[in-house]
Amino acid sequence: MEKLTGLKKIKTAVFISGKGSNLKNIIRFSKIKKSPISINVIISNTNKARGLNFANQSKISKKIFDYKNVNFAENQILKFLKKKKIKFICLAGFMKILSKGFIKKFDGKIINIHPSLLPKYKGLDTHNRAIKNKEKFAGCTVHYVTAKLDSGKIILQKKIKITSKDNPKTLAKKVLKQEHKLYPAAIKKIFY
Ligand code: GRF
């Protein structure tokens, strides 16, 4: 990713499917002077994503795309992103897998946050699996998105201890707290 040279913030879209706590935090970060990005668009595959409320609150344009036909949905999203001059994409709990073709159009410009210490525990249900396997550490990772799920180059990672008292729920809560710090730090790392 090219480094930031001008004063203009990079127009960014955040893709969500759920409660959007990372989105909320990225929006907050984007508003500070030192943020390299501005959040201009929020995209979701479902109108049930609670995080969409943050779009209303912060007056950011939001759009929901029906994923019944993936190809069609992705083409519509690409058109929309082009219209809005979006140059960078942050996935934050987006539950759809982007196609190779889509990723190619934003090559090296899509990042994601994953609730595990990648390359361990790709995919879903990470906390449950980590506890079952008696892991000593859990964590979160911000990485570039490539066609292979949760496998792109790692930008930043944060490790936390799993205690004997942890269950998937408490662990998820602890990790999420770290995610909120890690995502902005990773964005800074990319552009500065
Ligand atoms: C986070 O745990 C993130 O790592 C994963 O999905 C969850 C999204 O949470 N990809 P939220 O919607 O940002 O609160």
In this prediction, residue 3 carries a pLDDT of 63
The residue extents of the domains of the chain are 8-107, 112-192
Return the closest-CA partner of residue 148 out of 176, 191, 112, 181.
112
- Please work out whether the CB of residue 139 comes within 6 Å of at least one atom of ligand 1: no
Instruction: Determine if the pTM surpasses 0.85.
Output: yes
* Residue 33 CA, ligand 1 centroid: distance in Å: 25
- Mind spelling out the 3-state secondary structure of 90-133? EECCCCCCCCHHHHHHCCCCEEEEECCCCCCCCCCCHHHHHHHC
Residues 127 and 115 sit within 8 Å (Cβ to Cβ)? yes
Catalytic residue among 114, 127, 143, 180: 114
CA 49 to chain centre: 14
In this prediction, residue 40 carries a pLDDT of 98
CATH number for region 112-192? 3.40.50.170
Same-fold call for 8-107 versus 112-192: yes
Instruction: Report DSSP letters for 39-55, one per residue.
Output: EEEEEES-TT-TTHHHH
* Residue 175 CA, ligand 1 centroid: distance in Å: 10
Residues 113 and 179 sit within 8 Å (Cβ to Cβ)? yes
In this prediction, residue 5 carries a pLDDT of 55
Counting as low any pLDDT under 70, the low residues of the chain are 1-7
In this prediction, residue 1 carries a pLDDT of 65
CATH topology of domain 8-107: Rossmann fold (3.40.50)
- Please work out whether the CB of residue 145 comes within 6 Å of at least one atom of ligand 1: no
Active site residue 114: yes
In this prediction, residue 4 carries a pLDDT of 61
